[in-house]
Structure 1
Amino acid sequence: MIKKYNDFRDMSVWQKAFALLRDVYKIIRLFPVEEKYALTDDLRRSANSCVHNIAEGFGRFEAKDKTRFYKISRGSAYEAISQILVAEAEKYTENEIAEDLISRYKEMIEELNALIRTLEK
């Protein structure tokens, strides 16, 4: 049985993605100014994409349409992980912060995977 939500904000996966977005915004403030239109912008966009595609998927009527947006969100989460790894390698963020964000993105991905599997049945 698919869990019913009144609003996308009730979804724990959206809540996790939103919390990650807020934390991404905190760390990118510390990135060097020369990364403003590169890694900073890319990470901001991928983190935003995770959140907003979950919301858009929620608003879609058909399961196939919903899963398309949840899969886009999942792809954006992997993109954010890759960008966090670059930030860590370039010493723009500490290892502990990067590992925490990556771990939380992986949890979010697993929740999206479960939601997608449920909708595809």
Structure 2
Amino acid sequence: MEYMKLEKIDAYVHAHQLGNEIWELVDQWESFARWSIGIQITKSADSISANIAEGFGRYYKKEKIRFYRYGSGSVWETREWLIKAKQRKLIPDQQADALISGVEELPKMINRLILYTNQKLNH
């Protein structure tokens, strides 16, 4: 019997990559921007994949889904911080739009993960 691996879950992989992209971007900002918006956006972006990973590691279906939903909440927080960073000219418009678009793909991915978990687990 082959088990699912975290690194094979689309939502996790996508969120992990976005978190790394945002980290690299924020790392280049001036001190004030890093300490105000930068810390917030980095924490929320990293929280998406971290919550998916934590949910993946839980035994019971309800626990798994609860953490997947926490990750979904962090998606919307990250989107908000990206919009603020764009408006405050911390991220070029085109790059911000690409990141926002990438973040906006995650709710559907996380919902598919929740649906899959609901269908495949009995407990």
So what's the TM-score if we normalise by structure 1?
Answer: 0.89
Q: Is 1:99 aligned with 2:81? A: no
Report what 1:11 is aligned to: 9
Q: How far does residue 59 in structure 1 lie from its aligned partner after superposition?
A: 0.5
Report what 1:68 is aligned to: 66
Q: Secondary structure at the match of 1:42?
A: helix
So what's the TM-score if we normalise by structure 2?
Answer: 0.88
Q: CA RMSD in A?
A: 1.5
Aligned-partner Cα distance in 1 for 2:116–2:32: 43
Report what 2:106 is aligned to: 108
Contact 2:11 2:113 in 1 (8 A): no
Q: Secondary structure at the match of 1:115?
A: helix
Q: Which deviates the most, 5-14 or 19-28? A: 5-14
Report what 2:88 is aligned to: 90
Please list every run of 5 or more consecutive structure 1 residues that lacks an aligned counterpart in the other structure.
none
Q: Which deviates the most, 52-61 or 27-36? A: 27-36
Q: Secondary structure at the match of 2:35?
A: coil
- In the alignment of these two chains, the number of paired residues is 118
Q: One-letter code of the match for 2:99?
A: L
Report what 1:58 is aligned to: 56
Among the aligned pairs, what percent are the same residue?
27
